[in-house]
A and B are shown apart, each in its own frame.
Chain A
Amino acid sequence: DTGVSQNPRHKITKRGQNVTFRCDPISEHNRLYWYRQTLGQGPEFLTYFQNEAQLEKSRLLSDRFSAERPKGSFSTLEIQRTEQGDSAMYLCASSLAPEAFFGQGTRLTVV
């Protein structure tokens, strides 16, 4: 158990629907990262937070993706009007020191 909790673990949704994922970081970790990973690829950076401030959002990310971290604790990642190409594993990581600790991920399948 890494201490980073992601929910749900699996999500199947119909194309066009909105989905929201939650990440609970390790307590007191001030940085929180979101990544997307597809089979055979490395984690692709989506966005990250320092406390409640979103510091950077990948230019590869369309406006359909949004992330929040209210109060600098848990974070949510929302995907609006899902497309089949959004099917992937969505990973969350948190850190206090430079090294990051990962959750188990949320696997999204868009049908």
Chain B
Amino acid sequence: AQSVSQHNHHVILSEAASLELGCNYSYGGTVNLFWYVQYPGQHLQLLLKYFSGDPLVKGIKGFEAEFIKSKFSFNLRKPSVQWSDTAEYFCAVISSNTGKLIFGQGTTLQVKP
């Protein structure tokens, strides 16, 4: 069965600190991977996506993620966070065979100014 696990439930950082949020998935077939962000009071928005090719993908607002197939991981990174990055972050995986999109439980990021 498909599943997604996010290691950090709540992260608190100061501005300019580096960020890494862990995500591992469980699925034996071909997958596409995503990170979504949900700012307070707003809908879920796509941050970045991996389909194929270069395992290091860059998204909006300076975020990037690295797909490591051998570790079934897709960790999100940002070298220097800003107060405006305060939000909930969700890792998601979609099976290329079934089209079913599954989310992790999310990580709440709080950036202190």
Contact = CB atoms under 8 A, between A and B. Distances in A.
Interface in B77-113: 90, 94, 96, 98-106, 108
B43 A103 contact: yes
A61 interface: no
A67 interface: no
A55 interface: yes
Interface residues of B, number: 24
B44 A102 contact: yes
A56 B98 contact: yes
Contact of A45 (B32, B51, B100, B106): B100
Contact of B101 (A45, A104, A105): A45
Contact of B103 (A43, A55, A99): A43
Given A2-B43, A105-B43, A93 B90 contact: no
Interface of B: 4, 6, 32, 34, 36, 43-46, 49, 51, 90, 94, 96, 98-106, 108
Interface of A: 2, 31, 33, 35, 40-45, 48, 50, 55-56, 91, 93, 95, 98-105
19 contacts: A2-B43, A42-B6, A42-B90, A42-B104, A42-B105, A42-B106, A44-B103, A45-B100, A45-B101, A45-B103, A55-B98, A91-B43, A93-B44, A98-B49, A98-B99, A99-B32, A99-B34, A99-B46, A104-B43
